[in-house]
A and B are shown apart, each in its own frame.
Chain A
């Protein structure tokens, strides 16, 4: 089944404790992206990747890192999480960048709470 998977789905952590949220897709997509969703603000892009070893900042990249060593994986790293990073996170992938006509597939989401 074609899908985007994220792990963990739920995470409660404390300020300053490094964490990684994994994202994997099995559709051989080149474009992958991370978003956060907060009440009343809609989805905001954190980072995106056009292909292996090619990443770029989105609208809200502060406090986050990403890597794209393999085409299928795009982990999101929080080196020193803070309470303002408490949010619902989504990974997404598509064959090409959004300016193309291709559908973007979203993962199930990771709900992160930073105490």
Chain B
């Protein structure tokens, strides 16, 4: 069964610190992996999209990595800010499919 699992479920860090969120997937054959940021009560917003051949992609202070062999991805947030408080969702698409498979997200809280 195609699944996407994220860890940890929740995370609390202090402003200015770095953190890394994990995503493991079983989707096969793989097409692409996306990381979304979702503020409470709002729609998800895309951070990065990576295909099989990409193993690192950055968007400002956000850096995503992908290991297609082990089916793992991570999202690293550098020098966290209060505005980084949100849920971060890992989403995977398989080849030859019209659907996205969503993880349940990691809820990040950044405190001053």
Contact = CB atoms under 8 A, between A and B. Distances in A.
Given A43-B89, A103-B49, A98 B100 contact: yes
B101 to A, nearest CB: 9
B93 interface: yes
Interface in B55-112: 89, 93-100, 102-105
B94 to A, nearest CB: 7
Interface in A81-102: 88, 90, 92, 97-99, 101
- Interface size grouping (class) on chain B: 20 to 34
B41 A109 contact: yes
B102 A101 contact: no
B88 to A, nearest CB: 12
A99 B102 contact: no
Contacts of B45: 106
A43 B36 CA distance: 12
Given A98-B32, A99-B96, 7 more contacts: A98-B31, A98-B98, A99-B94, A99-B95, A101-B32, A106-B45, A111-B41
Interface of A: 4, 31, 40-45, 48, 50, 56, 58-59, 88, 90, 92, 97-99, 101, 103-109, 111
Interface of B: 31-32, 34, 41-46, 49, 51, 89, 93-100, 102-105
